[in-house]
Amino acid sequence: MAQQGKFQAIKGVRDILPPESALWNRVEQAARDVFATYGFAEIRLPAFEATQVFERSLGLNTDVVSKEMYTFEDHDLQFLEWLRAEVVARARTAASEKDKGALIARLNTFLIQTREQIKNGMMPQTAPNAIALTRLECDLNFFAAVSDRTPREEIESMAQNVRDTVEDIQFGVSVTLRPEATASVARAYIEHGMHTLPGDVKLYYMGPMFRRERPQKGRYRQFYQIGAEVLGQSDNPGIDAEVIEMLLAFLDLSGLTERKVYVNSIGCRECRPKYVELLRGELQKVKDQLGADSQRRIDTNPLRVLDSKLPEEQPLIETLPRIAEHLCEDCRKHYAALKEQLKLRGIVYEENWRLVRGLDYYMRTTFEITAPGLGSQNAVCGGGRYDGLVELLGGPPTKGIGFALGTDRLILALQEAGKGEAKPQLDVYVAWLGAAAYPMAVRVARTLRGAGFAVELPHEEMKFKKSLGLADRLGARYAVILGDDEVAASTCTVKRLADAHQEKIAEAALVEHLRRHSSELL
């Protein structure tokens, strides 16, 4: 229903309306409650970071970084942008005598202005910018020296140079809407010197993330995650197991009982590269039996071939070498201990040797939770160990493990499982009639709300017929009816809407009366 002139939410983002928003609150509250019992505290992170934080953490050649991030330059230099566009436009036609002069003039102004802004601190003083400016200076000199004898191709090639260089200049810092939060947590851990805190640092977060992807079921451009991280000096598998235990306790409280837990180990910097090469070699041998996507992955990321869903590739994939058999001694012990720790906690899990992670920072323990009813995105939650990430971002050597749960998908799974019901609760509807009753209605509503009841008070005078009709449709448990009679006697007529039973209660005793019957409210 895209009608001209009507606004609608942009592609891939959406409104979460009542009553569904109540389910969201329930889920998020469950997370807070459970995480708190495991000693986790909330960290509230910015929604955007310097682009490099994500490039460094996730890896430059991951899909997320290379094509799915919302990235922009943060600056306030419209005049320079306009100048740049002018330079580019003039450079396009620089071969003619007239435009040559215009290009020189614009480029000259651009260079002066740019230097000025850098001096003022309005533009970043970076090495690439310095190089670009020097190059433009040379180009300027070239154009000033152009004569009739200068070959046309040379002029055009230089003009092309100018366009490319001028467009490469960074006016501001590159920032990115966060596509995930682990990188931000690591950044914050370093920035605030959290390695000096006693014990492991246990943090959780929740909120929106952003990826510029084609939307589909359970996948949005603004999506939500609930996540938790443990950072510290220890990589004891007990931590990994406890994180998984906590995650499952949270899912229990949320009501997601139909789910599967998969675990795997993907090795470390020592043994994983060796395995990847082994796998690549094996895949090369059977290349012609694979689909086009998998063939491409042999070069780009052999581990992802294991993820293939193509039915015809499955038998072949089953014959491939498994990382569990090629882990180094330390990783083997770590993985074995993890499984022991899970058993110790009575956690039912499945090993999935094909479970690999897409992001560069993962190592050793990886895990995933799946649930039915999510379309082709059956993963609700993924996580793993990322020792070394903090160091990669310039911090001290630090171990880390955590998970991120797709809230949109958890909500979807709960709804599919019939556990998405979230009725708005309305305890009392105050129906009043007559000018004298309104002040009493205001008073009663305020008193009841003060006592913790959810109360609806109409502000237009309505016949009781209409008032009670509304009370019914709003799902109120009780109606308090106030008219001239009640005002005269300082009593309230209290009607239980479920069975139409009603009685008169003194105004002063109303709260006590409703409290006594609060079990009926539930």
Partner RNA sequence: GUGGGCGUAGCUCAGUCGGUAGAGCAUCGGAUUGUGGAUCCGAGGGUCGUGGGUUCAAAUCCCAUCGCCCACCCCA
Any contact of residue 364 with RNA (CB under 7 A)? no
| Token couple for 451 | 């006592």
**Dihedral over Cα of 282, 284, 285, 287: its sign:** positive
Cα–Cα nearest to 201, from 186, 219, 214? 186
Cα–Cα nearest to 132, from 173, 104, 169? 169
| Token couple for 246 | 């906590």
Residues 255-294 that bind RNA (CB under 7 A): 293
Question: Which of 258, 485 has the CB closer to RNA?
Answer: 485
Any contact of residue 502 with RNA (CB under 7 A)? yes
Cα separation, 191 vs 188, in Å, equals 5
CB of 84 to RNA, least distance (A): 25
CB of 195 to RNA, least distance (A): 25
Question: Which of 277, 293 has the CB closer to RNA?
Answer: 293
Contacting residue, 297, 364, 385, 399, with RNA by CB under 7 A: 297
Any contact of residue 500 with RNA (CB under 7 A)? yes
Any contact of residue 497 with RNA (CB under 7 A)? yes
CB of 229 to RNA, least distance (A): 14
Cα–Cα nearest to 260, from 174, 136, 347? 347
| Under 8 Å between Cβ of 391 and 398 | yes
Question: Which of 74, 485 has the CB closer to RNA?
Answer: 485
Any contact of residue 309 with RNA (CB under 7 A)? yes
Any contact of residue 461 with RNA (CB under 7 A)? no
Give the binding range for RNA (CB under 7 A) out of 99-107, 183-191, 457-465, 514-522.
457-465
| Under 8 Å between Cβ of 64 and 404 | no
Any contact of residue 207 with RNA (CB under 7 A)? no
Helices assigned H by DSSP within 18-151: 20-37, 51-58, 63-67, 78-92, 97-120, 127-145
Q: How many CB atoms lie within 10 A of CB 96?
A: 10
Beta bridge partners of 73: 174
Give the binding range for RNA (CB under 7 A) out of 86-94, 263-271, 280-288, 469-477.
469-477
Residues 226-255 that bind RNA (CB under 7 A): none
Any contact of residue 127 with RNA (CB under 7 A)? no
Any contact of residue 423 with RNA (CB under 7 A)? no
Q: How many CB atoms lie within 10 A of CB 231?
A: 26
Contacts of 15 (CB under 8 A, 6+ apart): 9
Any contact of residue 368 with RNA (CB under 7 A)? yes
Any contact of residue 223 with RNA (CB under 7 A)? yes
Site string for RNA, 160-199 (x = CB under 7 A): ----------------------------------------
CB of 89 to RNA, least distance (A): 25
Cα–Cα nearest to 311, from 298, 294, 287, 323? 294
| Under 8 Å between Cβ of 263 and 339 | yes
Residues 18-77 that bind RNA (CB under 7 A): 62-64
| Under 8 Å between Cβ of 482 and 431 | yes
Binding site for RNA (CB under 7 A): 1-4, 8, 10-12, 14, 62-64, 211, 213-220, 223, 225, 293, 297, 304, 307-310, 357-359, 368, 375-377, 379-382, 404-406, 408-409, 433, 463-466, 468-469, 471-473, 479, 481, 483-486, 493, 495, 497-500, 502
